[in-house]
């Protein structure tokens, strides 16, 4: 079994989500509600949104030539890296407390992930590697780790996370992956 898709998906998504608005939402929810309910609701949302994303990516690969997918993936990853470097500080969101915590966390995270860089990255990773199930496994392991960290921070240590440095690291990782994909496109070989 080739573990490169698993490790690549895990590393990219984990670093991209650290300090992201979704993780900040999980931290905020965990500070106010049951940590287990927030964790469960968030993971269900990630499972749904990114499961659909990986499925979409694995279907698109059968219709588009891999060479052009590689170039497009590289450009998208570089764009996300640059956007991460220039984006404004965290966005604040209000949550109505009338719903159950599990449903609130699920709904909130699902909506925040739609069109987010990690959803697009999930599609691109599924298109880049020939094993979408392994890519999905890496993505979900990353979300389990990052969501767990967010829940712990929210319920115990809410202000210990240096978001500025996480954003810079995330941006660098996206740009590095983008450059690797573009090198793959130019050389016609697989550096990654």
Residue 149: what pLDDT?
92
**Structural domains of the chain, count:** 1
Residue 97: what pLDDT?
45
Is residue 143 in a domain?
yes
Q: What is the pTM of this model?
A: 0.68
CB 153 within 8 A of CB 160: yes
Helix axes 21-32, 132-155, angle to 10 degrees: 40
Residue 98: what pLDDT?
39
Is residue 135 in a domain?
yes
**Mean pLDDT per 10-residue section of the chain, whose length is 192 residues:** 87 86 81 87 93 82 70 78 70 46 84 76 84 92 94 74 63 78 80 52
Residue 182: what pLDDT?
87
Is residue 177 in a domain?
yes
Residue 25: what pLDDT?
80
Distance CA 81, CA 89 (A): 15
Is residue 97 in a domain?
no
155 CA to centre of own chain:
22
SS3 for 64? coil
Residue 94: what pLDDT?
42
Is residue 98 in a domain?
no
Domain that holds residue 10: 4-92+103-187
- Dihedral sign, CA of 88, 57, 11, 173? negative
Residue 163: what pLDDT?
58
Is residue 192 in a domain?
no
């Amino acid at each position: 079994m080739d573990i490169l898709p698993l490790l690549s998906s895990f590393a990219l998504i984990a670093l991209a989500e650290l300090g992201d608005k979704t993780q900040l939402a999980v931290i905020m929810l965990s500070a106010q509600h049951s940590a287990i309910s927030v964790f469960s609701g968030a993971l269900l949302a990630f499972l749904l949104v990114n499961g659909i994303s990986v499925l979409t990516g694995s279907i698109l690969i059968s219709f588009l030539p891999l060479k052009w997918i590689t170039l497009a993936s590289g450009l998208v990853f570089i764009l996300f890296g640059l956007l991460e470097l220039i984006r404004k500080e965290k966005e604040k969101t209000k949550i109505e407390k009338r719903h159950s915590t599990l449903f609130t966390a699920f709904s909130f995270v699902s909506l925040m992930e739609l069109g987010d860089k990690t959803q697009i990255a999930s599609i691109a990773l599924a298109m880049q590697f020939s094993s979408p199930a392994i890519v999905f496994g890496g993505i979900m392991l990353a979300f389990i780790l990052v969501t767990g960290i967010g829940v712990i921070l929210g319920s115990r240590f809410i202000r210990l996370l240096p978001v500025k440095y996480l954003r810079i690291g995330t941006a660098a990782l996206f740009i590095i992956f983008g450059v690797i994909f573009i090198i793959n496109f130019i050389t016609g070989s697989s550096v990654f």
